[in-house]
Chain A
C-alpha cells in the first residue's frame, strides 16, 4: 500500500507541524478516577494484614539453624501429627469427592420436594462456627451419643480417635466438593448425553465415558479444596479427635501446644511446613481450575 496515491488525510490547510509528544505517567493515563486511592488502600491493607505478617513467619523460619530444623522435623510426635493431618485430610477429601458428586448430581438433575432446602443446607459447614461443629460432632459420636451409641456395639469408635478427626474433616469439606461440581453439572449440555445415547451408549457408559470426564477437572478441584481446608482445620477437629499425642493429635493443635509452652521455634517450624504445603496446594488448585476452564471452554 506504500506506493498508492498520497493520502489526503487533512482537510483545510495551515496546520501547525506535529506537536511534540506529551509525557504522561502511568497513573495519568487511567480515565476512570480513583486508581491511586483504591490501589493504595488495596496494597496498603494487603501488606499490613497479610503479606508482612506472613513474611514475618517466613523470615523467622529462615533464621532457624539447620540442627534445630532437624530436631523439629525428626520429632516422632510431629511426624505422627502431620500424618494425621495430611492422611486424614486425604481420606476425608476422597470421601467428599464421592459424596459431593452424588449430592451435586441429585441436586442438579432430580427435582424432588425439599430440594431447595437441601441445596441451601449444603453451605451449613461454611456458616457454622467450627467450635460449634466440633462440640456437636463430638456429642453425636460419643459412646453415649445419638450415633455413637449405634456404632459402639458394632465395635466402631469414632469420638476421641483418629476416625473422629476424619469425620470432622468430611463435615467441613463437603460444601467445597458439592459447590465446585454443581455449576459444571448444570452446564453440561443435554445434547451431549442424547448424542451418546444415539450412538448406542448405555446410561452407565454415558456416565463413565462422557459425563464423568467432563466434570473430572471440577471434581478434582473440589477434592483439592476440601483437602486444603481439612489439612489446616482446627476448631471442629480438636473436640472430637481426643488429641492424644502421636495418635489423634493434628498438626495445627501441635502448633498451639508449642506456643502454649512458649516454644516459638517449634511452632514456627511446624507452621512453615504447613504453609509451604498450603502454597503447593494452592498451585495445584490453580492448575486444576485452569484445566477445568479449558475443558469447559472447549465444548462451546
Chain B
C-alpha cells in the first residue's frame, strides 16, 4: 500500500504538484490521467524517488520512504521511452537489477539466468534474449522494459505513458495483455496516461489530475458517470459544453427546465452526445439539423439548438434506417445533464 500525503513540488515559478494526497491499496491498477503539465508524471517520478518533493511524505507499506533513495525503494519503473541499456542484450537488461544487488543478497549466476528466462517467457520474448534493444520493435522493447522492472520483484510497478510510443494495434494488444499480467502476478501498478480510453479500459481506479491537483478519484464507471468537476467532464468523453442560467434550483437552457444544484446565476451544462432522445418533431421542434453522418451503428447529428448553440448528438441507427436530411426540424430532450456554476 502506498500513501502520499501533501506532496508538493515546484519547478521555479511553476507548481507541478499542489499538496497532493493519494492512497493506493495493494493489488490495484491505478491510472493517473490528465493533460500534459497536469503533474501526473512528476507524481510518478516522486513515488519512484526520481524526483524529490519539496514537501509532503511518502509511505510505502507503512514505512516512511520520503527520504529513501530510488535505489532502495524496490519500485519497478517502466520509462516512457523504455530507457533500455543500449549496449546490453535483452537478457543483460533484464538481469541488471539482480546483478547489481549487494553480494550477500545477490542470486547465483544460474538463478539469475533462470529468472531471466522465466521473465522473458512471461513477456513472450524467450527467443530474443541475445538481441540488442535497437534490434527490437517498439512493442518488444516495451516488454523488455517491463520484464526488467519485474525482475527485482518490485512491491509497486510504475509505468510512464506505457503505450504512448506504440502504434494503435500494438497498443490495444499490449493493453489487454498488461491487464492480465497485472492480475496473474498480483501486482500493484500505477500508470500515467493522457488517453482517457486507456485509463478507463485498463484501470481499477482512475485519478484525474489537472494543474498539479487531483480533480477526482474513482472507478472508471464513477468517473465517467459522475464527473465531479467541469474539467473531468470535458476531459473524459466528448461532452458538449452549453451555457445556461440557474434560478431557484432549475437550469434554463433552450427552453428545457433541468434540475441543478448550482447557485443562481449563469451556469454551464455538460451533455454527452449519446445522452439525448430524439422525439417526434411534430410535438414542437427545438432544434435544426445541420448535417447527419453515418458512423456504423450510430448516427452522428450536428445540430443547432433553437437558442443558437451547437451540439453533437449520437443516436442508435438500425440498418436501412433513413438518414434525416439537413435542415430538418428536430425535437430533442437531454437525458442526463450536469450543471456547474459558470466561473472563469
Contacts and interface: CB of A to CB of B under 8 A. Distances in A.
Q: Do chains A and B interact in one complex? A: yes
Interface of A: 1-5, 7-12, 15-16, 18-19, 21-22, 24, 28-29, 31, 33
Interface in B35-58: 49-52, 54-57
A31 B70 contact: yes
A123 B23 CA distance: 61
A206 to B, nearest CB: 38
Contact of B230 (A1, A10, A11, A21): A1
A110 B57 CA distance: 63
Nearest to B19: A18
B20 interface: yes
Contact of A21 (B54, B70, B343): B54
A11 B217 contact: yes
Contact of A18 (B5, B67, B214): B5
A19 B56 contact: yes
A5 B229 contact: yes
Interface string B1-42: 000011010000000000111110000000000000000000
B215 A7 contact: yes
B66 interface: yes
A7 B23 CA distance: 15
A4 B217 CA distance: 15
Interface of B: 5-6, 8, 19-23, 49-52, 54-57, 66-67, 69-70, 213-217, 228-231, 263, 340-341, 343
Cβ-closest 10 pairs across A and B: A21-B55, A18-B6, A9-B214, A4-B229, A3-B341, A10-B21, A29-B52, A3-B343, A11-B23, A19-B57
The B contact surface, by secondary structure, is: strand
B23 A2 contact: no
Contacts of B69: 31, 33
Q: Is the interface of A mostly helix, strand, loop or mixed?
A: loop
A4 B230 contact: yes
A9 B70 CA distance: 26
Contact of B6 (A7, A8, A19): A19
21 contacts: A1-B343, A4-B228, A4-B341, A5-B228, A7-B228, A7-B229, A8-B216, A9-B20, A9-B214, A9-B217, A10-B21, A11-B22, A11-B217, A15-B5, A19-B5, A19-B6, A19-B55, A19-B57, A21-B54, A21-B55, A31-B51
A16 B5 contact: yes
Contacts, number: 68
B88 to A, nearest CB: 19
Given A8-B216, A16-B5, A31-B49, A2 B343 contact: yes
B5 to A, nearest CB: 6
A20 to B, nearest CB: 8
A3 B66 CA distance: 33
Contact of B21 (A4, A15, A21): A15
Nearest to B230: A4
A4 B228 CA distance: 8
Contacts of A4: 228-230, 340-341, 343
Nearest to B340: A4
Given A4-B341, A21-B54, A21-B55, 4 more contacts: A1-B229, A3-B341, A9-B20, A9-B21
A3 B217 CA distance: 19
Given A1-B231, A3-B341, A16-B5, A10 B51 contact: no
A271 B63 CA distance: 63
Nearest to A24: B52
A16 B5 CA distance: 9
Contacts of B52: 24, 28-29, 31
A202 to B, nearest CB: 44
A38 B56 CA distance: 30
Contact of B23 (A1, A3, A10, A16): A10
Contacts of B21: 9-10, 15
A79 to B, nearest CB: 51
A18 B263 CA distance: 31
A7 B214 contact: yes
Nearest to A12: B23
A13 to B, nearest CB: 11
Contacts of A18: 5-6, 19
Contacts of B56: 19, 21
Contacts of A8: 216-217, 228
Contacts of A24: 52, 54
A16 B64 CA distance: 14
A3 B265 CA distance: 13
A87 B58 CA distance: 66
A243 B230 CA distance: 82
Contacts of B340: 4-5
Contacts of A10: 21-23
A18 B213 CA distance: 16
Contacts of A21: 8, 54-56
A12 B70 CA distance: 27
Nearest to A22: B55
